[in-house]
Structure 1
């Protein structure tokens, strides 16, 4: 698909900061993230997707941009205000980064506005209308208008609280993500001007759907503007405009925080009142209203932008829920691993027979829940240990742990309070777990526990045996339906001992000794990775084939990037599949000419972390060193998080991950983007041999976990790198 005219790219050739040594070797982290979000937005223009799915991509781009400002931009602004002399890896000050970020973010907002205009028109053509305050009267019948007015009077009006703005009524507090309408009015009785503000209540749904088969939506703020005379009787409405506020929402941990639970409970409340970092104004807002908002909310520290006719693009997700299957992806039902079915649903028996890998979302997350539920109900299970980073609002995992504790088992849950924007939910889960008798541990103050590990100790034949689950994603039943991740089940006693040491490290600060297979950060994960890259460099220098394949979300760490540059210069062939941020510059002569980087953006969110090293042969090969991990290649993952790196030694699992998952990602040409040495991304053209990796895994059972009968049938097409363009 060619790039639409209204989707502009940041032109790195015109970057005024490109002359520094850092910018010669690295892309800016924040601009790379914005480039990723632009790729997400471009999927909203991809006519290969159904219309409501395109709207979903637009809403995701909006939610992503909100979080980016609340966390990353807020952090840079804080550095600037405190005169922190810290340069990014590409050599920019916080002020220089902010200038470039705001320019690209404003361009992104302009693109979002244009995409929404196009999608809104196309939705209307298919019978889904989103009405504005200006189009309500002409689009609705008198009967519809009467219903709408009744709803406003009975359901919305009692909740609204108009607030006058004058010397006796100072400007009210606007919470984070707060949306409001400001009005200029004139009192009819004496022609006295007055200014009023109406905040949209946060718990209220953003859209009201009119009754009937035909889908007609009206945003709440449009209703407030349309029925302003009902809110302000005796006043003439001169003008009204919407605005929205984003605040600094990052939570910094203080070393003196002795009670982490109390600290986070208070910090979550403070988040609502963080410094205003972004003020969004409705396009065309009267200058007088805009000036007041800038003075009251923006000051000199906030970034002010005009965001088109709809503020808070992320809220458009509500319209995606419209019951129109013809405008959505064909429903997909994930498979349950056949190998576990062959053992009558007995997870322990199946895992005991052979290691199993499950590929989400193509294979259901229910297998993870079944593993935990069986452990909770099994009288031979004596202990369960579990990390919880993002469990979400679905209680399935929590209920299994509670059931196990109530059954008298020893249950330990490592609950990570520092999981951004999930802190409040995790506090609730921690409280529920503790009430049930679960031993809840919050881990390290300075480090996040990001590793996804579950460990079950079972009594078998007079001895104890340990079963483990290692995941590249979170124990989150909802995200497991749209994130591509790996779940690895094993009863290997070496991995059981390593997992036990990992939990002891988190719960009791007991340093692991003689770990057999697992590497942990911040302990030894980066050094182990460096040694693996060094081994490929040595192979290349000895004239042997040398290759590295890696798939993850982000590559940022300068030390790892420099090592990859060294490997490239030695002749190692490197293929990276990086969905999001990539600070490494590929294809630069004399520095990275043997490195290729691609990004896959499609129906599912590529999330699994997989690393492969040729080990003296071209990839893929049976002797390759293959690893799965919870970590991306970022400083925070190596230095400030508990992460694991796990070698895959089982031949069947090795083959599925390397020869299927990795090869499919490499040969995909329908939803892939190639990163150029100038920082631009170019959509891969399918050519004569189109291949969509998501479609492939939805329609073909995986090799591992299929069961003996399916494996013998040979029904799964074999993937080959010859498919690659």
Structure 2
């Protein structure tokens, strides 16, 4: 099954659009693959509904950031072209068409799911479809619980058009009072803190949108008026925050910028299909929005809120529960993380193995009297963060604690400002990093006084220190007491806290000062090996690949005969399988129960992949210009034999072999779902069913972990 609306390869092979896929259009293709999971009949119904909600939320963020940015460029007359040669105006034209198509497909998916959910006694009805008893209860609920919270606002010369916040939703009414001349326009904004859906009590799970209650029982709001027309609307605003180089106080700057973002320029207006024409005209005028970005739907507005219905207590309509395993290596050392790491490096594969081991590592450091120093990067930490709690505990215990808090983490700026304040109050030295670069590296450094002297323990991750995300995102946590990595990590922190550029790094590669060069050197070696007739190959697992120079380097390797397999979840501006350009490159995207987030590079190094002599790296960076040139990132070599086997021969290989959740990128730029069923292989199920290698420790002696192999098969075919 092909995902519709992708960009076909042009007839000419010379232009930029023949070599590269537009970033924005590739992202829309990714979100269609997410939406396809809402249409996946193999999934439980509430999980399908959740995928629909995720797809809608993704599209909202894309509109608020990417579309808003392009509109800003177009309005200022900026003609900077994208990787495929399209101007901002040309991109907007192509994007708008696909956004409308995606919105339409989301509504079709909702209609299908609603019909199926009715059979399971879960209803998301139009209020007029309900019986008198249910409507009577809803009217009482509206009177007692909703009416006190909402405020009708007249719109006339003495009552200017009210401000509607980003993602704000409301109902606009056209009213007439008795025999008086003229009409009145009123707006009712839905408070952001009010749940979007009301659940009607009873054995059936009936969910009614609050906007339906407002329109149905509007007579209570406007006694004595006749309602001549109404309409439900939602507005999305420009939500990007640009950091000015001359900002003197980043915290103060971001507090102000967050307030500005709430009032950003409107970029999309959603209206219900039956919106009153005069009310619609007023909204169009007041929001001053391009007609091309006004979306009218005959279905539901704001599908992102459907996730609330997914919390309905129906385990039979959800994925079977999965509890992450706690690494047996740590348990074998009576829960002593430092002892386990001292014995041998260990890698933890989230969410299949618990993020609690990361929290325990920091908590143990906080209470261990032998620990003298903790340094920690924080990009996204979540609402109730045990990581923050551990750092505060350590500072209160008198340890030297440094936290690099990234204020520029999009949509987490306000939360990070809060955590920074809490940490500072506890005595943590809080650093905000660079003004022009984001600190995206995921690193913990703990210095401990031991009999032999001071020893450094490090944690390097591919994902954020966010315990909720760690139950959904697939990531790697690498623990090591390697002295060279400890020295490199210390230099990394000095770089961020004191601008001391890390010279003489022994093992780590750091962007933006050397990571790109390291990757180029590794790819060049594979090219040289291929040209010399030696085994060569590159395997990589990334979230996105958009950097032109990196794509060109992979094209060069392909033309030299290097076999390249890329697992790219999201945006891929590289074209795969084109003769004379990328015929030796194969790209797939895995979309499933968990969000693929780990980043891995593997280079054959003169041997057939997956060889134990291959060079393997984990990294916090994607192959994007922002990661390589405008963020502080790290790439870590994996040299320990057991960890190397797990990352390459277990994690990476299973991703390459997966078919049941995989979409292959075809030469024409479209994605095609790979084989499912008896002959398929599901890497998520494999990881849920089989323990990891390095996390097993001595348990491996009594129960070998099932191994995967490529022997006699092409990547993408099932084997075990």
TM-score where L is the length of structure 1: 0.97
- Contact 2:268–2:289 at 8 Å: present in 1 too? no
* Residues 18/543 of structure 1: CA separation in 2 closer, same or farther (3 Å cut): closer
Whole-angstrom distance in 2 between the partners of 1:628 and 1:258: 35
Instruction: Tell me, in whole angstroms, the C-alpha distance in 1 between the residues paired with 2:524 and 2:6.
Output: 35
CA distance in 2, matches of 1:282, 1:711: 63
Structure 2: 5+ residue runs without aligned partners?
none
Unaligned runs of 5+ in 1: none
Q: Secondary structure in 1 aligned to 2:525?
A: helix
Residue 608 (structure 2) pairs with residue 618 (structure 1): yes
Once residues 19 and 208 of structure 1 are traced to their aligned partners in structure 2, the CA distance between those partners, rounded to angstroms, is 55
1:500 aligns with 490
Match of 1:696 among 679, 682, 686: 686
The correspondence for 1:713, drawn from 699, 703, 718, is 703
Shift of 1:677: 1.5
Deviation, structure 1 residue 716: 2.7
Aligned pairs (5 A) from 1:599-610: 599-610=589-600
Distance 2:207 2:60 in 1: 23
Shift of 1:299: 3.6
- 2: distance between equivalents of 1:404 and 1:45? 48
8 Å CA contact retained: 1:521, 1:643: yes
CA distance in 1, matches of 2:662, 2:452: 53
> Who is 2:38 aligned against?
44
Residue deviations 1:510-566, cap 9 Å, x none?
Answer: 111110000000000001000000000000000011100000100000000000000
CA–CA distance in structure 1, aligned partners of residues 410 and 441 of structure 2: 15
Q: Which residue does 2:346 correspond to in 1?
A: 356
Provide Cα deviations, 1:277-332, integer angstroms capped at 9, x if missing partner: 11111123232222221111134487211133211111100000000000000000
Choose the corresponding residue for 1:377, options 339, 345, 367. 367
The 2-side partners of 1:498 and 1:11 are apart by 43
Distance change (3 Å), C-alpha of 1:722 and 1:373: farther
Q: Distance in 1 between matches of 2:391 and 2:437?
A: 24
User: Could you tell me whether the CA contact under 8 Å between 1:664 and 1:719 is conserved in 2?
Assistant: no
Displacement of 1:166: 2.1
Alpha-carbon distance in structure 1 between the residues aligned to 2:546 and 2:368: 44
What is residue 245 of structure 2 aligned with on the other side? 255
SS of 2:124's partner is strand
Could you tell me how far apart the structure 1 residues matched to 2:99 and 2:380 are?
A: 28
Mapped pair 1:77 → 2:71: yes
Q: Conserved in 1, the CA contact under 8 Å of 2:266 and 2:289? A: no
**Which position in structure 1 is the counterpart of 2:186?**
196
Give the equivalent residue in structure 2 for 1:55. 49
Q: 1:20 to 1:542 in 2, by over 3 A?
A: closer
Match of 1:681 among 671, 676, 683: 671
* Secondary structure in structure 2 of the residue aligned to 1:9: coil
* SS of 2:667 mapped into structure 1: coil
Which residue among 624, 633, 636 is the counterpart of 1:634? 624
Which of 505, 509, 518 is equivalent to 1:515? 505
Shift of 1:123: 1.0
Residue 423 in structure 1 maps to residue 417 in structure 2 = no
Equivalent position of 2:122 in the other structure: 128
- Aligned mates of 2:389, 2:462 — CA distance in 1: 22
SS where residue 534 of structure 1 aligns?
helix
> In structure 2, what is the Cα distance between the partners aligned to 1:249 and 1:559?
29
Match of 1:478 among 465, 468, 476: 468
Tell me, yes or no, if structure 1 residue 328 matches structure 2 residue 322: no
Correspondence 1:65 to 2:59 = yes
Q: Give the 3 Å change call, closer, same or farther, for CA 403–301 of structure 1 in structure 2.
A: farther
For 1:410, the equivalent position in structure 2 comes to 400
Q: Distance in 1 between matches of 2:709 and 2:646?
A: 11
Where 2:148 maps in the other structure, the secondary structure is coil
Instruction: Tell me how far apart the structure 2 counterparts of residues 226 and 653 of structure 1 sit (CA, whole Å).
Output: 61
Is 1:226 matched up with 2:186?
no
Aligned partner of 2:356 in structure 1 is 366
> Do the aligned partners of residues 462 and 713 (structure 1) sit closer, same or farther apart at CA in structure 2, a change above 3 Å counting?
closer
Give the deviation of 1:151 after TM superposition: 1.4
CA RMSD of aligned residues (A): 1.5
Distance 1:718 1:90, change over 3 A: closer
Match of 2:539 in 1: 549
Greater displacement, 296-305 / 263-272:
296-305
2:97 is aligned to 103
**Structure 2 residue aligned with 1:243, among 233, 244, 251?**
233
Which residue matches 1:12?
7
- State which of 578, 583, 586 in structure 2 corresponds to 1:593: 583
Deviations along 1:592-641, one digit per CA (max 9) or x if unpaired, are 00000000000000000000000011100010010000000000000100
Q: CA deviation at 1:687?
A: 6.0
Query: 2:385 matched to which residue of 1?
Result: 395
Match of 1:463 among 443, 446, 453: 453
* Match of residue 444 from structure 1: 434
Contact 2:326 2:357 (8 Å CA) reproduced: yes
Tell me the residue number matched to 2:131: 140
Assess, with a 3 A threshold, how the Cα gap between structure 1 residues 14 and 613 changes in structure 2: closer, same or farther: closer
SS at structure 1 position matched to 2:388? helix
**CA deviation digits over 1:41-90, x for unaligned, max 9?**
01000011100000000000000000001111111111111111200010
Please point out which of 345, 351, 361 is paired with 2:335. 345
Find the partner of 2:640 among 650, 657, 668: 650
Give yes or no for contact 1:703–1:711 (8 Å, CA) kept in 2: no
C-alpha distance in 2 between matches for 1:721 and 1:272: 55
2:514 is equivalent to residue 524 of structure 1: yes
1:256 aligned counterpart, secondary structure: coil
Q: Report the more deviating stretch, 538-547 or 229-238.
A: 229-238
**Alpha-carbon spacing, 1:721–1:668, altered in 2? closer, same or farther (3 Å):** farther
Q: Is the 8 A contact 2:396 2:426 kept in 1?
A: yes
CA contact (8 A) 2:68 2:267 kept: yes
- CA distances 1:369-395 after superposition (whole Å, capped 9, x unpaired): 000000000000000000000001122
Give the Å deviation of 1:192.
4.2
User: Are the aligned partners of 1:20 and 1:91 in contact in 2 as well (CA < 8 Å)?
Assistant: no
- Give the match's secondary structure for 1:131: coil
- Superposed CA deviations along residues 551-600 of structure 1, whole A, max 9, x for unmatched, are 01000000000000000000000000000000000011001000000000
Query: Whole-Å Cα distance in 2 between the matches of residues 122 and 689 of structure 1?
Result: 28
2:544, 2:622 within 8 Å by CA — same for their partners in 1?
Answer: yes
**Count of residue pairs the alignment pairs up:** 715
Q: Deviation of residue 147 (structure 1)?
A: 2.4
1:175 counterpart = 2:169: no
CA contact (8 A) 1:453 1:468 kept: yes
Q: Which moved more, 1:230-239 or 1:407-416?
A: 230-239
